[in-house]
């Protein structure tokens, strides 16, 4: 179990690294960092890091989403949500969310650019998280009672807000 959480932390830190040093400064996380260290310091640091470690577009634009899907699938795996007579397996929510977001981008309902590669990467990261790390077949309702792991799972969904691009 500790290895799983270490894998989650490392994956989220890798995504954070990519967002901070390679994505637009208009994301929520970068706006927060700029307010903390100043725009000039942020631009200087970003220029140094991106110059020392050039990354290709697939890594910059698709990998962070795939890593998020991987992490949130791992944290969602033990849970379901029960709504009256319906039971939703939480392991499917990250995949539906990421594909749905791409569809909304294609329809121009939300900011961003539709990219089929983002869907392929999301599926590629979702599959091992669902099938190779599924060591608890007895799923529990995430809301009954809400414990530390359930709270961590729900909070992980909120992480996607930090990648939101501000206008």
What SS3 state is found at 82?
Answer: strand
Those residues whose C-beta lies under 8 Å from the C-beta of residue 24, and which sit 6 or more positions away, are 30, 165
Give me the average pLDDT of each 10-residue run along the chain (167 residues): 86 96 94 97 98 97 96 92 89 95 94 93 96 79 85 86 80
Say how many Å lie between the first and final Cα of the chain, rounded: 40
pLDDT in the model for residue 136? 67
Q: Is 28 left (phi over 0), alpha (psi -120 to 50) or beta?
A: alpha
The whole model's pTM is what? 0.89
135-to-4, 122, 129, 139, 155 alpha-carbon distances in Å: 11, 21, 11, 11, 22
């Amino acid at each position: 179990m500790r290895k799983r959480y270490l894998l989650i932390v490392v994956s989220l830190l890798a995504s954070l690294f990519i967002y901070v040093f390679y994505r637009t400064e208009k994301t929520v996380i970068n706006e927060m960092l700029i307010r903390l260290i100043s725009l000039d310091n942020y631009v200087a640091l970003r220029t140094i890091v991106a110059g020392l470690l050039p990354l290709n577009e697939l890594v910059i634009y698709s990998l962070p989403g795939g890593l998020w899907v991987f992490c949130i699938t791992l944290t969602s795996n033990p849970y379901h949500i029960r709504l009256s007579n319906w039971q939703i397996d939480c392991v499917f929510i990250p995949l539906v969310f990421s594909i749905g977001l791409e569809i909304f981008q294609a329809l121009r309902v939300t900011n961003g650019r539709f990219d089929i590669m983002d869907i392929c990467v999301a599926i590629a990261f979702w599959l091992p998280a669902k099938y190779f790390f599924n060591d608890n077949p007895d799923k529990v309702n995430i809301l009954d009672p809400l414990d530390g792991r359930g709270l961590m799972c729900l909070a992980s969904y909120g992480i996607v807000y930090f990648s939101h691009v501000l206008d």
